[in-house]
Structure 1
Amino acid sequence: MMQPLPTKTYDWQGFSCAYRFAPATATQTPMLFIHPVGVGLSGRFWDRCIAAWQEGDRPLYVPDLLGCGESAMPHVAYYPEDWAAQLKFFIESVIDQVVVLVVQGALFPVAMELVSQCPERIRGMILSGPPTASLITEYTDRFWQQVRWNLFDSPLGWGFYLYARQESFLRQFSIDQLFAQPDAVDSEWLRMLAAGCANLDSRHAVYSFLSGFWRKDYRSAMKHVHQPVLVVMGNQASSISRDGVADSPLDRLKFYTETFPNAEGVVIPGRNVLPYESTTAFVEASQQFLAAKEL
């Protein structure tokens, strides 16, 4: 396993934001990795993927979203538009080049908001296990999202977060909802989550995700994305939402490839955290896509 990349910081709206950077010996398009949000998750989610990817052919940027990892953790409700604005600033002020986005799971809406805010800066997207169609095609009333936030941002939510930080819960949740193979939930994964939620202020980003601020109908916006898109789905992909409509990996793949004007899909072994559980297959599929599209 490679040594962790050193952490760098930049300031955005008065907050310190962290990122890691793997330089390149060539001048190909940089990659920007958008991590999932959940108990203990941050840019460190991509460590295995970066280690497999790191051949020096293109720069790799791995930011921590505000409220996560080593970035500042203000007590606010985080919307996809907020994280997209953070990343837009990061692209324009730190990277200062066009990028290809690599996006994990339900952070898909952040990528969509980012493409909307700065389309000229995005050359393509790679989506790892994006949400089931029902979660991004139905309008969710902001009033009820705020009600959920208020419930989480209370002693009730505090108790939930203390419980959810326990290793036993994190292991079982990972087995039940994220990984295809139970033995893939290893000590490295659990140590990463424990470090990521050590600071209890990390709960606010998790509350924001669970409140569903990211849930709205993105179909119209998707139809206006003309950059090349690769959708990578696990052959055992499942929805982690209780009210999400169950669909097969091929059904979900079909939705994305038919809604985006310029998309293609591939199914690889794994479930919902492909860059971690099926790292080699995910990196190979991504690199083949980049080469074919000359990105």
Structure 2
Amino acid sequence: MPSFISKIYQWQGFSCAYRFSSQTGRSPILFIHPVGVGLSGQFWDRCVSYWQSQGATYSFYIPDLLGCGQSDLPHCAYYPEDWAAQLHFLVTSEIRQPVILVVQGALFPVAMELVHFDPQLVRALILSGPPAPALVSENTEPRWQKVRWNLFDSPLGRAFYLYARQKSFLRRFSINQLFAKGEDVDEEWLGMLAAGAADLESRHAVYSFLSGFWRRDYRQKMRDIRQPVLVVMGDQASSISRDGGAESPEERLEFYAKTFPNVQGEVIPGRNVLPYESTPAFVEACQAFLCAQAL
């Protein structure tokens, strides 16, 4: 496991947790973890541990988003702007210099909101398995998002979460939706998810994700970004939403290449959780990109 210092900071009356490993001389890297049953900043531990083993000279910052991990778990609906505001405060008050953003999967909108809100705070973006184009190319009716939230935020939703945090469900879902190889769904992964979901109050962040508060048309915000962007896709990438269709990884990369002004893409072995299932290949892609950008 990576060697980190753990800290707590206060934001809007909430305690927010992050871990960091400080170096000098290069831009710090801020990791945005995915949201799902049991997920938190620990998602990045395997990736950062490998990166450090390669003699990395970057400072690494791994926050727990509000509602996840060691941060407070308030009973509320979370929007991408909320988590972006939390991270903006972290960067301006704790890190205190522009960062390189590394973001997993469907937390892509949080990165978009953060860059849009304060472009000077982000030097580059690395997107691991970002969403299918259909999920970030059209606005979802807010009324239906709230209907879904109200359904989840009920005794029925509580029962669902109790079921979804069982190890048998977590294993099956991971094999069917996240990993390219079933044997890579190991006890370390399942133990992390089970521990992260032990507190039932962690369910509200998951409900917010499942309600689709993040699903909007982000194309204009993408076009406005001038920072260099790396998009890393798995060669077996799939979407957990039927709306995502069945486009190939290359077709999904083409969408991002046409929308971001300054982007490069790479396809590596794996499916939907590349920093965990394909750690060396993912880190090597990141290192090559950052070296080429002199970051």
CA distance in 1, matches of 2:156, 2:85: 30
1:3 is displaced (CA, Å) by 5.1
> Is the aligned partner of 1:16 residue 2:28?
no
Alignment match, 1:197: 197
Preserved CA contact (<8 Å) 2:2 2:45: no
Moved more, 235-244 or 197-206: 235-244
Once residues 151 and 243 of structure 2 are traced to their aligned partners in structure 1, the CA distance between those partners, rounded to angstroms, is 19
- SS at structure 2 position matched to 1:68: coil
* Counterparts of 2:5 and 2:195, CA distance in 1: 16
Matched, 1:163 2:172: no
Which residue does 1:108 correspond to in 2?
Answer: 108
Match of 1:31 in 2: 29
- List per-residue Cα deviations over 1:138-162 (Å, max 9, x = no partner): 1101111011000000011001000
User: Pairwise CA RMSD of aligned residues?
Assistant: 0.8
Task: Check conservation: 2:2, 2:48, Cα contact below 8 A.
Answer: no
User: 1:204, 1:139 → 2: CA distance?
Assistant: 22
Distance 1:169 1:6 in 2: 33
Deviation string, structure 1 residues 162-217 (Cα, Å, up to 9, x no partner):
00000000000000000000000000000100111011000000000000000000
Distance 2:185 2:61 in 1: 26
Kindly provide the amino acid, as one letter, of the partner of residue 22 in structure 1. S
For 2:245, the equivalent position in structure 1 comes to 245
Residue 92 of structure 1 pairs with residue 87 of structure 2: no
What do residues 3-37 of structure 1 show as CA deviations (whole Å, max 9, x unaligned)?
A: 5534211100010000010122x310000000000
Q: Give the aligned length.
A: 293
Name the TM-score, length of structure 2 as normaliser. Answer: 0.98
SS, match of residue 243 in structure 2: coil
Give unmatched runs, 5+ long, in structure 2: none
* Letter in structure 1 aligned against 2:237: A
Displacement after TM superposition at 1:93 (Å): 0.2
In the superposition, the TM-score normalised over structure 1's length comes to 0.98
Q: Distance in 2 between matches of 1:292 and 1:140?
A: 37
Identity %: 68
- Aligned-pair CA distance for 1:246: 1.7
